[in-house]
Amino acid sequence: MYNKFLAGEKIYLREVREEDVNDEYYCWINDPEINQFLETRFFPRSKKDILNHVNKLDGNPNEIFFAICDIKNDKHIGNIKLGPINWYHRKGDISLLIGDKNYWGKGIATESIRLVTEFAFINLNLNKINAGCYEENKGSLKAFENCGFIIEGKFEQEGFCKGKFMDIIRIGLTKHKYETIIKNSI
């Protein structure tokens, strides 16, 4: 039984554990469709490499790494990370992966982002959360926008993806805007 560190309606977040680095996780990281917009796509990853990455992030207060799990069956379906966190400027980045394709398009990314954003602003007292995505990653952009993030900039041909240079969209949300969104939704 895992501790449900942050719980939503469909999913909960908990720490990523060594036993999560299994054949399924290995396939997520190395599947060209799943990792098409991730920086990990440039080189194949071994289970040992993935495990080293998980162990490096375990307990790191500057890069908080969560497993996304289905609340109904405890299945590990992806990951979301808050970090690196800059404690001087009270800001951090969010990045995520929904590895199990059966959960794509079901609002899992949006719910994960909402949980981590609330945790960042309420529990950690951060002032700003940022994220970035390739221009063709419409699903990711929509998930962040559903959580109140706004496009703050577009960096022309900033990344190489799918054999071509693409714009990178930078999105963000301040604590003040988050609080305004929460107050207006009540």
Cβ 85 vs Cβ 79: under 8 Å = no
Q: Report the percentage of the chain scoring pLDDT > 90.
A: 81
Check whether 107 has a pLDDT greater than 60. Answer: yes
Over residues 98-120, the mean pLDDT reads 96
Residue 91 has a pLDDT of 98
Read off the tokens for 152. Answer: 């703050």
Q: How confident is the model at residue 11 (pLDDT cuts 50, 70, 90)?
A: very high
Give residue-wise pLDDT tens across range 36-79.
788 887 888 899 999 999 999 998 999 999 999 999 999 999 99
C-alpha–C-alpha distance, residues 124 and 90, integer Å: 9
C-alpha–C-alpha distance, residues 91 and 86, integer Å: 5
Check whether 9 has a pLDDT greater than 90. Answer: yes
C-alpha–C-alpha distance, residues 92 and 20, integer Å: 25
More confident residue, 40 or 96: 96
Q: Report the percentage of the chain scoring pLDDT > 70.
A: 97
Closest C-alpha among 173, 87, 165 to residue 130: 173
Domain spanning 6-185: CATH superfamily: Gcn5-related N-acetyltransferase (GNAT) (3.40.630.30)
Give residue-wise pLDDT tens across range 144-175.
999 999 999 999 998 898 889 999 999 999 99
Check whether 186 has a pLDDT greater than 60. Answer: no
Check whether 115 has a pLDDT greater than 90. Answer: yes
Question: For the chain, what are the domain ranges?
Answer: 6-185
C-alpha–C-alpha distance, residues 17 and 55, integer Å: 8
